[in-house]
Amino acid sequence: MKKLILVTLFTTALSGTAIEVFAHGGKMVSEDKSFRVYQKLNLSDDQKNTIKELTASFRQAHPPVTRESRPSKMPSLQQPFDEEAFTSHFLQRNPDKAHQHLEHAQLQHAIFHVFTDAQQLKFVQLQNKRKAKMHFWRTKKIERTLDTLNLDPGQREQISAMRDEHDQHRKVMSSQMEDYYQQRRDIIQQTVFDDNQWLALETKYQDVKLDVALQNAKHRHQLLAILSDEQRTALFSRNDKKREESRRL
């Protein structure tokens, strides 16, 4: 039971905020992983090549961001979490984030409309199945992360003590975020992508996204403070490696 609680906390705090996930239910990651889904659609060679070209062009226009060049999201671990500073930082970056999400959505829209009508229908069905399995596989992923960190009993106890607050907030926010993601999916799957409609949706849910990001940041700050220097270094290295792999074609 405690391990499941730890997994739930790490899922939210270490995997990034929910708003980073692509609207169709997951990132376009490596060629093997993305085409694992597309193989179920029986794509033609022309369709596969078109998708690869679209994705390659997107990656070229958006080179990987290294840890050193990324703006810091976290205050010093030696200081209390500064909610006001984080909120200010989030709102300053929000226009850039909204633009990035718009470009991601445009890519997804272009890919979605490479499919035939029958393939689009099957893709939507696969999305729904994937959403149902997502929590299970995310839990497995976080379990592996926990195992690599070699947490001692005291660390596990400290992390599990955070569970009540986290679970209560997660239940409240999950419904609102699901509504947000569903509207994102609807826009992506429209025949014509509407930039203004997308940006209006981002603006409408800005306060909800801020709340999610703020709570995730608080938990992440608390969790990182519990880890040793060696464990944090190992975690950052693992995340950077996964991030780099996800950007390769």
Q: Which residues of 83-111 are buried (b: 16+ CB within 10 A; e: fewer)?
A: eeebeebbeeebeebbeebeebbbbbbbb
- What predicted TM-score, i.e. pTM, was given to this entire model? 0.68
Residue 83, in any domain of the structure? no
> Is 106 contained in some domain?
yes
How many whole angstroms separate alpha carbon 205 and alpha carbon 211?
10
Q: How confident is the model at residue 168 (pLDDT cuts 50, 70, 90)?
A: confident
Question: For the segment 198-240, what is each residue's pLDDT rounded down to a tens digit?
Answer: 999 999 999 998 988 888 888 888 888 888 888 888 888 887 7
| Tokens standing for residue 88 | 């200010």
57-108: per-residue pLDDT in tens?
998 887 765 555 555 544 455 568 888 988 988 888 878 788 888 999 999 9
Tokens representing 141? 């992923």
Residue 221 lies in a domain: yes
**Residue 8 near residue 167, CB atoms below 8 Å:** yes
Average pLDDT, the chain: 76
The reply to whether 141 falls in a domain is yes
Range of the domain at 237: 28-60+94-247
Contact by Cβ (8 Å): 30, 245: yes
Residue 145 maps to a domain: yes
Per-residue pLDDT tens digits for 174-183: 888 889 999 9
7 located within any domain: no
Convert the pLDDT of each residue in 103-130 to its tens digit.
999 999 999 999 999 999 999 888 888 7
- Listed residue (166, 194, 46, 25) closest to 116, CA to CA: 46
Residue-level pLDDT at 8: 41
In a domain, 140, yes or no: yes
Residue 2 lies in a domain: no
Q: pLDDT category, 19, cuts 50, 70, 90?
A: very low
* Count of H-run helices and E-run strands, the chain: 10, 0
Task: State CA 148 to chain mean position distance.
Answer: 21
Residue 210 contacts residue 84 (beta carbons within 8 Å): no
**pLDDT recorded at residue 232:** 87
Alpha helices per DSSP H over 16-72: 31-38, 45-61
Please write the tens of the pLDDT for every residue from 131-149.
Answer: 767 766 666 777 777 778 8
Q: Are 217 and 127 in contact (CB under 8 A)?
A: no
- What's the domain count of the chain? 1
